[in-house]
Structure 1
Amino acid sequence: MNKSKLWTKDFTIITVTTFFVYLTFYLLMTTLTVYAIKQFRASQSQAGLASSMFVIGALFSRILVGKYIEIIGRRKLLFTGLILFLITSISYFTADNLNLLLVVRFIHGAVFGIAATAMATAIMDIMPRERRGEGTSYYSLSITLASAIGPFLGLYITQHAKFDSIFVACTAFSLISIVVILFAKIPEAKLTKEQIDGMKGFKLHDFFEKKASPISIVAFIMGIAYSGILSYINSYALEINLTQAASFFFLVYSAVCLISRPLTGKLLDCQGDNTVMYPSLILFVLGLALISQASNGFSFLLAGALIGLGYGTVYTCTQAIAVKVSPKHRIGLATSTFFIMMDAGIGVGPLLIGTIVPMVGFRGMYMMLATIVFLSIFLYYFIHGKKAASIQQHLIEIEEMEVWV
């Protein structure tokens, strides 16, 4: 039996568009704190707020978009989000005080959440069901590339040009994303009247997909653990005199993700969720444990590679599982539920971890995170792992019935 085609024109275009949207996100995330301090003499906490307001705005919009995306239409929301994303990128030029900058950051994050959720929902619908793990892995590589290029580009611009050049670059990337997406056909959900009526209301069920919630809880915990890397890796490296190795940490992480994700995605489709999830969780544990004991550049970067194999794979697999277990007409809500929980973990993590570091130090903190991820292996087993095989078989039976029909 021949495989359904994955790399269609629409799949490629949406993946490229996602890259430019996330490139803007990472470029600003790594430069806005310095900009706020130098331009408006903001304190460290105020500068941190300027950075995190984007995530707050994204969380706010994802909750609403997940509910209304299939009712309003994916194409309408996607183009609305991208156009507002461009307008907000231009608005940075007019933000002449810290309060206005915070407002712009919140709005920018909100419209980012609209566009990102719409693109992720569309791409999940475009993928052949039997290649969803592989497709999610390839699609997420656009975000991985953006996370590597964005910070590098931000550092280069701040060293060789004025801050306004960053906003020029973001405006250009936003404009490119609109031009590129014009050539894609965005699939819409085919809803019955009963399904539309069922999505109207203001109950918790209307904002979160129940079937995607269990695996999204695992994603939430993974987000907290990974936030310990994102937020504190540089401070930790400074403390143990490994700043040179730290400058290559995310490069190693991204390189490993680029190599491994297509392979693990195919394995997820062919061998099932557990074959990929259990080893990936264990590798994440080993990476966090190793970094807690790192004493030289080699062990520090090896930890980066293990975390890339571990967390990098868990990220894409949990997203694919969240969509797989959800009804087709609620893919948008399932995608939104996953990203809300993952983003919430990354957003809340630094606050929780910040209270732990003074008590146990960086090494103790990373070992605690390793313990939490290890315990989440048992959580995964109880909420999904023990029934993963039966779910996979049920989906195969549905697919065979659709083929015969």
Structure 2
Amino acid sequence: MSKPALWTKDFIFVSVSNFFVFLTFYYLLVTLPIYTIEDLQGGGTEAGLIVTVFLISAIISRPLTGNWISRYGTKVIFIISLTLFFLGAALYFFPSTIGSLLVLRFFHGIGFGMVTTATGTIVANIIPDSRRGEGMGYYALFMNLAMVMGPFLGLTAMQNWGIEVTFTLTTLCAFIALGIGVLVQLPKAKEDASLAPKREKMSFRFGDMFEASAVKISLVGAFFAITYSSILSFVSVYANDNGLAEVSSFFFVVYAAVLLLSRPFTGKWYDRFGANVIIYPALVIFAVGMFILSGAHTALLFLLAAGFIGLGWGTVFPSFQTIAIQEAPPAKRGVATATFLSIFDVGIGFGSFIVGVIGGQIGFSSLYFYGSFFILAGILLYYFLHGSNHQVPATTQNLSNNS
């Protein structure tokens, strides 16, 4: 029996649109702190706030977006959110003070929080149920590629072409995301299934903005996000301290390359054998990568660590998001996506702060060393909150019965 199609035009459109959203996000993540310090005469605290304010507004907007999706439809909220994200990107030419830039970052973060929730919901609706793990893995791969290309493009533009061209490219990327997003056509049956019954008034009850079934796996994701934040925020600093500045930019290139090679297998194995068969070994691989990184004083070990972390965390993250979506009713997939991403971002935000404090006290080598054991301890958290209740997919059971 042939498999249901995964690489439909709508899956490709929404994945590419999301790629340009995240390309814009990572592009600004590395350029705005430099712009704040060099052009707006801010300090390290102000540069940090530029990132924090954006993240806070995204976290605030996601639960509301999940609720709006359930009420008004995914496509409507998707286009509105892409429009807000584009408008925010187009306004970076105008702030002349740190205060006005912070206001813009808050506004732009709302668009980002909305659009990432909407795209996650669309993907959950158009991926065939039997290929959900595989599909979510490829969808996450587009975000991983943006994580590699965004910082490279941003720093290249800022160093060679100046701030005007830098902000022009920001606007262009967001416009492409909007243009491609308009082409997405969610099948009407899927759209109708995502709509909850209309209520006369907008309510703000917990159940309307957070999906209870997604909370446990979201907490697990946030736990591991604390360790992952140490990679996002400080791996380049660690490389400089170890005399590896010349290869630091290749860390996420190797990370992405390993993802590209592994994704065709890990997603299919998830769908065939279930989450536990993929997540337990992936977490061990993630821990091994952190352990290698803690002692990486050569380029070979540094890039080897990148490969292990890319295979481990790059497999775990989309698996967690897939679990959050699978366990929610179809009408609550938007809320489940928002719940997962909001709680996950809290882990990233808290982790960025706490690992910075700890790393400054004990050094980043020790931070990554202890981080590997933190990951291993998290395996127990995953077991108690989800793994112990794992259900083997029906397709696997059928294979066993027929063998």
TM-score (norm 1): 0.93
Residue of structure 2 in register with 1:164 after alignment: 164
Q: Give the aligned residue type for 2:222.
A: F
Secondary structure of 2:238's aligned partner? helix
Instruction: Give the counterpart letter for 2:258 in structure 1.
Output: V
The answer for the alignment partner of 2:218 in structure 1 is: 216
1:286 alignment partner in structure 2:
288
Moved more, 92-101 or 352-361: 352-361
One-letter amino acid of the counterpart of residue 266, structure 2:
T
Paired residue secondary structure (1:96): coil
Q: Aligned letter for 1:168?
A: T
Q: Which moved more, 1:73-82 or 1:124-133?
A: 73-82
Alignment of 1:66-105 (within 5 A): 66-105=66-105
Deviations 1:324-356 (A, max 9, x none): 111111100111111112211111111111221
| 2:49 alignment counterpart | 49
Q: Deviations over 1:329-388 (max 9, x none)?
A: 110011111111221111111111122123322122112221111011111111211221
User: How many percent identity over aligned positions?
Assistant: 38
Structure 1 pair 269–194 and aligned structure 2 pair: CA distance change class (3 A): closer
**DSSP 3-state at the match of 2:48:** helix
Per-residue deviation at 1:204?
2.1
CA distance in 1 between partners of 2:29 and 2:194 (Å): 41
Shift of 1:148: 0.9
Rounded Cα–Cα distance in structure 1 between residues aligned with 2:109 and 2:264: 29
| 1:248–1:301 Cα contact (<8 Å) kept | yes
Deviation at 1:195, TM superposition (A): 4.8
Q: Distance in 1 between matches of 2:138 and 2:283?
A: 20
Partner of 1:302: 304
Q: Is the 8 A contact 2:95 2:101 kept in 1?
A: yes
1:155 aligned partner, one-letter code: L
- Judge conservation of contact 1:70–1:189 (CA < 8 Å) in 2: no
Q: Does 1:230 align with 2:227?
A: no
CA-to-partner distance for each residue in 1:170-195, whole Å, 9 max, x for gaps?
11112222222222213454359985
- Closer/same/farther in 2, CA of residues 262 and 194 from structure 1, 3 Å limit: closer
**Structure 1 CA distance, aligned partners of 2:194 and 2:256?**
42
How far apart, CA to CA, are the structure 2 residues paired with 1:57 and 1:214? 23
TM-score (norm. length: structure 2): 0.93
Equivalent position of 1:240 in the other structure: 242
Q: Which amino acid aligns with 1:73?
A: G
* Residue 376, structure 1, aligned to residue 378, structure 2: yes
How far apart, in 2, do the equivalents of 1:205 and 1:396 lie?
33
Provide the residue aligned with 1:144 in structure 2: 144
Matched ranges for 1:244-259 at <5 A: 244-259=246-261
**How many residues were matched structurally?**
396
8 Å CA contact 1:144, 1:258 repeated in 2 = no
Amino acid at match of 1:230: L
For the Cα contact (< 8 Å) 1:268–1:275, is it kept in 2?
yes
- What is the CA-CA distance between 1:197 and the residue it aligns to? 5.1
Residue 83 and residue 327 in structure 1: after superposition, are their counterparts in 2 closer, same or farther (change >3 A)?
Answer: same
Match of residue 133 from structure 2: 133
Distance 1:322 1:112, change over 3 A: same
- Give, in whole Å, the separation in 1 of the partners of 2:59 and 2:218: 14
Q: What's the Cα RMSD here?
A: 2.1
Cα separation, partners in 2 of 1:394 and 1:96, compared to 1, 3 Å: same
Aligned equivalents of 1:330, 1:129: Cα separation in 2: 16
